[in-house]
């Protein structure tokens, strides 16, 4: 039976539909959505855009014909500072991000400089360089990056 009028269907209790439910408009709810379809991350699926869950309840979506978990986007935060003999630099992830890695490089015009420290610091990354005693009059550059999620 097909309904082709512009009227709403309302129910004061549960409605159970045996088969597919299609909407040409947006579907909204004032509660939660329960997804009972269980799939395996990495297995084939069709069509793209389906939403399911794995056995542990983690949301999966069908992307390019394969079930995939949501991926966090990585953001690289960078900072550069100059200094004599011991240039150092630090950079922090934003408050809503978490540092997951980092690193840095040291540079000096005559290339006699080396990285002595590269460590996590609070929610960011810190590096320390050593330009050597001979080059206390040449600026060294410390460039640091933090990988944030």
Q: How far is 126 from 105, CA to CA, in rounded Å?
A: 11
| DSSP states along 93-105 | --TT--EEEEEEE
Q: Where are the alpha helices (DSSP H) in the chain?
A: none
Q: How far is 4 from 12, CA to CA, in rounded Å?
A: 22
pLDDT at residue 59, as a whole number: 94
What digits encode the pLDDT tens for the residues 100-125?
999 999 999 888 899 999 999 999 99
pTM tops 0.75 = no
Structural domain boundaries of the chain? 32-71, 75-148
Length of the chain (residues): 149
- The three-class DSSP label of residue 134 is helix
pLDDT at residue 134, as a whole number: 61
Cα pseudo-dihedral 46, 48, 52, 54, rounded to 10: 80
Q: How far is 10 from 102, CA to CA, in rounded Å?
A: 55
Print pLDDT tens along the chain (149 aa): 455 666 777 777 888 888 888 888 888 888 888 999 999 999 999 999 999 999 999 999 999 999 999 887 899 999 999 998 899 999 999 999 999 999 999 999 888 899 999 999 999 999 999 987 665 678 899 999 999 99
Q: What are the residues whose beta carbons fall under 8 Å from the beta carbon of 142, sequence distance 6 or more?
A: 80, 81, 82, 83, 87, 88, 89, 104, 105, 106, 127, 128, 129
């Amino acid at each position: 039976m097909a309904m082709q009028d512009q009227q709403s269907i309302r129910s004061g209790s549960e409605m159970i539909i045996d088969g597919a439910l299609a909407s040409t408009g947006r579907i909204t709810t004032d509660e939660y959505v329960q997804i009972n379809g269980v799939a395996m991350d990495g297995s084939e699926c069709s069509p793209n855009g389906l939403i399911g869950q794995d056995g542990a309840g983690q949301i999966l979506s069908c992307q390019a014909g394969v079930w995939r978990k949501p991926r966090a986007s990585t953001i690289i935060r960078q900072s550069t500072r100059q200094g004599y003999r011991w240039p150092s630099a630090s950079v922090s992830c934003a408050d809503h991000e978490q540092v997951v890695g980092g690193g840095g490089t040291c540079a000096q015009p005559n290339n006699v400089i080396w990285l002595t420290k590269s460590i996590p610091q609070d929610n960011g990354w810190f590096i320390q360089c050593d330009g050597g005693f001979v080059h206390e009059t040449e600026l060294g550059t410390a460039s640091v990056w933090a990988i944030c999620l």
